[in-house]
Homo-oligomer: A and B are copies of this chain.
Amino acid sequence: MYSLEELQDKVTTIIESKKFEKQPLSLYEPIEYAMHQGGKRIRPLLVFLAANMFTDDLEEAEYPAVAVELLHNFTLVHDDIMDLSPLRRGKPTVYQKYGINKAILSGDVIYAMAYEQLMNCSEEKIPFLVKTITSVLIKVCEGQAYDMSFETRNDVSIQEYITMISLKTSILLAGSLKMGAIVANASKENMNILSEVGLYLGIAFQLQDDILDCWSDLKDFGKVSGTDIADNKKTVLYLSALDKASEQDRQRLIDLYTEKNIDVQKKIAEVKGLFEKYEVRKDVEFLIKQYSEKAIESVEKIDVEGERKQNLINLIHKLLKRNR
């Protein structure tokens, strides 16, 4: 069995050593740029972690590991266009650097490259892997569609928000764990439990991200703080505040999220003030605790020796203490 650090090193080595630049450069340079901006690379790590629960031979896990990182970057490249995000991991987003057209097209190829990776696996596993990654992608896009539709809706519930982030974030974490289990020939039952782990972990992870977007430093987080507020994203913080606020504050929050002629920095400060007044951060931290406990309970149900589960449990704890 590998240690968490060894697996993390494996991921870094594999992704960093991949070369994406070839002709035409106008297409592949943005791909090289997107893929080598660092990032946490949690998804390929989850592939290796899941595979390593059942086998010490991680050779085949490399392909779905690279595939999920490609898929993740594909969604980032396209989402950043849709969300008009200027920064990602502290650097200009692909569309900011290369323009919308190249970002669309490069994103499309990154997606295809994910399938290319899976083609390196043993033939009998390919159908199941392809089925998994395809269903993941469709659900991630459904999540993004819900997310965009929330921007113009005023009646989003916390439950709907959780469903949206399960689609947009959890499904890919679940798919990563599942694909690791597939290449390691795990049982169907273990695969399903691992998908469940990914589901809960993803929700906790995204709720954590909402907190970080609001309160972390640019230096650590790599994105501008408060962008969710600037973009009128109805995050769990906003929805919890709406639930708890007095009629007057509630109306003010809605106004702040709809007014167009407002100084962005002032808006961020005032919204954060309201979040703090109603202590919504504490509520969200409670939710995170609940979902991460569910994730760990699920890990414990996996039918494999206890020590084989420890890496995944440690990662869950680590992820939920992160500051970026």
Taking a contact as CB atoms under 8 Å apart, the answer to whether A27 and B142 are in contact is yes
* Total number of A residues with any Cβ neighbor in B under 8 Å: 38
Specify which chain B residues have a CB less than 8 angstroms from the CB of A145 in the assembled complex: 24, 26-27, 102, 105
Taking a contact as CB atoms under 8 Å apart, the answer to whether A78 and B105 are in contact is yes
Main secondary structure of the interface of A (DSSP, over half): helix
Given contacts A100-B100, A104-B82, contact A134 B146 (CB under 8 A): no
Q: List 12 A-B contacts (CB under 8 A).
A: A24-B145, A27-B145, A81-B100, A81-B104, A102-B148, A108-B108, A109-B137, A115-B115, A119-B127, A119-B131, A126-B126, A127-B127
Q: Which 4 A-B pairs have the closest CB atoms?
A: A27-B145, A82-B101, A126-B127, A115-B134
A116 within 8 A of B: yes
Besides A24-B146, A81-B101, A82-B104, 12 new A-B residue pairs in contact (Cβ under 8 A), listed by A number: A24-B145, A24-B149, A26-B145, A81-B100, A81-B104, A102-B145, A108-B108, A109-B138, A109-B141, A112-B137, A118-B130, A123-B127
Specify which chain B residues have a CB less than 8 angstroms from the CB of A102 in the assembled complex: 145, 148
- A78, A111, A112 — most chain B CB neighbours (10 Å): A112
What is the oligomeric copy number?
Answer: 2
Contact with B along A82-113 (1 / 0, CB 8 A): 10000000000000000011101101110111
Q: In whole Å, how far is A101's beta carbon from the nearest beta carbon of chain B? A: 4
A144 within 8 A of B: yes
CA distance in complex: A101, B95 (Å): 13
CA distance in complex: A23, B149 (Å): 12
Q: Which residue of B lies closest to A144 (CB)?
A: B105
Q: Which residue of B lies closest to A82 (CB)?
A: B101
CA distance in complex: A146, B144 (Å): 30
Taking a contact as CB atoms under 8 Å apart, the answer to whether A142 and B24 are in contact is yes
Taking a contact as CB atoms under 8 Å apart, the answer to whether A105 and B82 are in contact is yes
Q: Which residue of B lies closest to A24 (CB)?
A: B145
Specify which chain B residues have a CB less than 8 angstroms from the CB of A115 in the assembled complex: 115, 130, 134
Given contacts A82-B105, A100-B100, contact A27 B141 (CB under 8 A): yes
